[in-house]
Amino acid sequence: MSKGTFATAINCMDGRVQDPVTRWMRQELGVDYVDMITEAGADSAVALGMPWQVDSIRKRVGISVEKHHSTAVAVIGHHDCGGNPVSNEAHHDQIRNAVRIIRSWRFPVRVLGLWVNHLWMVEAICDSPPPGS
């Protein structure tokens, strides 16, 4: 049996966003599975988190990339986030900053910033190709 293809989501722990993000990533990225790394207010956790928190996320992304050969990593923010109750504009800024931070980890993957809107639909905020593409 084939192991399948993977992408990685750094997503909020909020259960409302798990299914829309998984469906979007499977469809748009053409992968079989999505490794889910969850944190309350994931966009803020990467963009503004304490060093130990960011390092924990980085280590888990590394496992997904190294062991599952994940080809893309997405960081997600969403409407009505209890863990990061800021404006949509602040979320979008944090998503863009989080993408820059994830890119600095130098994993050979595409890095995306995603937003789950008030209709629970996924929107791409930014997209950074793998290094050397």
Tens digits of residue pLDDT in 31-45: 999 999 999 999 999
Q: What angle do CA 94, 96, 101 make, to 5 degrees?
A: 90
Question: Does some domain include residue 1?
Answer: no
- The sign of the torsion formed by the CA atoms of 122, 59, 130, 84 equals positive
Exposed (0-12), middle (13-18) or buried (19+): which is 95, by Cβ within 10 Å? buried
Token pair of 55, please?
A: 């390092």
> What is the pLDDT, as a whole number, of residue 81?
97
Name the average pLDDT for the chain: 96
Mean pLDDT of the region 92-119: 98
131 pLDDT more than 90: no
Mean pLDDT of the region 16-43: 98
Q: How many CB atoms lie within 10 A of CB 26?
A: 15
Token pair of 9, please?
A: 């989501």
Residue, of 129 and 87, whose pLDDT is higher: 87
User: Quick one: what percent of the chain has pLDDT higher than 90?
Assistant: 94
- C-alpha–C-alpha distance, residues 115 and 6, integer Å: 20
DSSP state of 82: S
Q: Which residues constitute the domain of residue 84?
A: 6-128
The CATH number of the domain where 101 resides is what?
Answer: 3.40.1050.10
Predicted confidence band of residue 3 (pLDDT cuts 50, 70, 90)? confident
Whole-angstrom distance between the N-terminal and C-terminal Cα of the chain?
31
Which phi and psi (to 5°) does residue 127 adopt? -150, 120
Predicted confidence band of residue 6 (pLDDT cuts 50, 70, 90)? very high
Count the domains in the chain: 1
1 pLDDT more than 50: no
Mean pLDDT of the region 34-57: 97
> What is the pLDDT, as a whole number, of residue 2?
56
Lookup result for tokens 């798990």: 18
115 pLDDT more than 70: yes
Question: Does some domain include residue 33?
Answer: yes
82 pLDDT more than 50: yes
Question: Does some domain include residue 110?
Answer: yes
